[in-house]
Amino acid sequence: MEINEGQVVKFSAARDLGGLSPDEQKTVREKLSNLNGDYSAKIVLDYDGQERIVEKGITVGVKTITPEKIEIPSFKLGEINRLVLTLTSNWNTPTDVEPKVQVYSSNTLIAELAANNISIINSTKIDFFWDTKELPYGQYTIRAIALYEGERKEKDFYFSLSENRVSVEESGARSRRRMISSAIIISAILLAVFSARFIKKKFMKARLESLINGAVRYAEYRDVKKAAEAYTRIRQIYDTLSEQEKKKFYDKLMKVYNFIRNQKNKKIEF
């Protein structure tokens, strides 16, 4: 079996389907990568010692006309500006297309631009002309539309107009940039929160170590009152720790407690 585009062979495969009875059907499945369009299929039949070649027109894939991008080569506010729309086709034969461009401010249609119908194969550029008289600075949506054979394909582009800058970008690119910006901001906030918590925990642990050492010194000097006060502050910090962190300080805490309690000739109530 061969699939041809004119005289060019686009695909060929040898398949022995065995014998076929009258009215019997057999299905042949092949993966036809990157083939979209109208082709002719050539099939070789071998029967009763004879060979016969049958050709039949076939359609592969789904026809799609896509608005790819919009360009504004040189924008001058208040004048009639040229917009260039690029359309692409995945089909191997020409397709008649009615192109349109609509301009929206928020959800309000403020301009509808038209151009002559075209016949497209592969890719083509179409000029539209937009009268920007009395157009204020702001954000606009430019919608590119391709109408063909009862189908409609459209794509939105964001048009930003300010005193110092004019830009046109695909809506998907803007959304991705916003997502990336949001992700960066969220990451920065989370990092700041975790950093603050880490610093706080580190400070609390250092404070706890300092109080433990101080309580031991007070007990050694037989300053029972200050030792008891230090122990009280130690317990206050200790109670705020996680169970895992408490395990790390438990032995030191009990050492301080017992050290103070066992001082000769002193009695501390806890």
| Cα–Cα distance, 45 to 1 (Å, whole number) | 10
Residue 170 counted as domain residue:
no
Specify whether 29 is located in the same domain as 101. Answer: no
Specify whether 202 is located in the same domain as 255. Answer: yes
Specify whether 15 is located in the same domain as 40. Answer: yes
Specify whether 140 is located in the same domain as 207. Answer: no
Last residue of a domain, one of 138, 164, 190: 164
Tell me what pLDDT residue 38 has: 85
The residue among 86, 91, 31, 95 whose CA lies nearest residue 62 is: 91
| Cα–Cα distance, 159 to 141 (Å, whole number) | 6
Query: 85 in helix, strand or coil?
Result: strand
Specify whether 124 is located in the same domain as 154. Answer: yes
Specify whether 208 is located in the same domain as 242. Answer: yes
Tokens of residue 129, six digits: 């002309």
Listed in sequence order, the residues at least 6 apart from 202 whose beta carbon sits closer than 8 Å to its beta carbon are none
Specify whether 183 is located in the same domain as 139. Answer: no
Residue 130, pLDDT above cutoff 90: yes
Residue 139 counted as domain residue:
yes
Last residue of a domain, one of 164, 188, 212: 164
Specify whether 140 is located in the same domain as 155. Answer: yes
- Among 44-48, 151-155, 233-237, which range has the highest average pLDDT? 151-155
Residue 172 counted as domain residue:
no
Listed in sequence order, the residues at least 6 apart from 100 whose beta carbon sits closer than 8 Å to its beta carbon are 112, 113, 114, 115, 144, 145, 147
pLDDT band at residue 108, thresholds of 50, 70 and 90?
very high
CA 131 to chain CA mean position, Å: 35
Residue 169 counted as domain residue:
no
Residue 183, pLDDT above cutoff 90: no
If DSSP states are collapsed to H, E and C, what string results for 181-248?
Answer: HHHHHHHHHHHHHHHHHHHHHHHHHHHHHHHHHHHHHHHHCCCHHHHHHHHHHHHHHHCCCCHHHHHH
Tell me what pLDDT residue 226 has: 74
Last residue of a domain, one of 25, 40, 60: 60
What digits encode the pLDDT tens for the residues 219-246?
Answer: 666 676 777 777 788 777 777 777 877 7
What digits encode the pLDDT tens for the residues 61-107?
Answer: 899 999 999 999 889 999 999 999 999 999 999 999 999 999 999 88
Specify whether 79 is located in the same domain as 154. Answer: yes
Tokens of residue 192, six digits: 């700041």
The DSSP element (H or E) to which 116 belongs, if any, is: none
Specify whether 70 is located in the same domain as 55. Answer: no
What digits encode the pLDDT tens for the residues 187-215?
Answer: 666 666 666 566 666 777 777 778 777 77
Residue 270 counted as domain residue:
no
Q: Tally the domains of the chain.
A: 3
Residue 174 counted as domain residue:
no
Residue 15: give the domain boundaries.
Answer: 2-60
- pTM for the full predicted model: 0.58
The mean predicted confidence, pLDDT, of the chain is 79
Tell me what pLDDT residue 1 has: 58
Residue 127, pLDDT above cutoff 50: yes
- Among 37-46, 199-208, 255-264, which range has the highest average pLDDT? 37-46
Specify whether 47 is located in the same domain as 113. Answer: no
Instruction: Give the Å distances, CA to CA, from 130 to 72, 104, 153, 168.
Output: 10, 13, 21, 14
Specify whether 69 is located in the same domain as 156. Answer: yes
Percent of the chain predicted with pLDDT > 70: 70
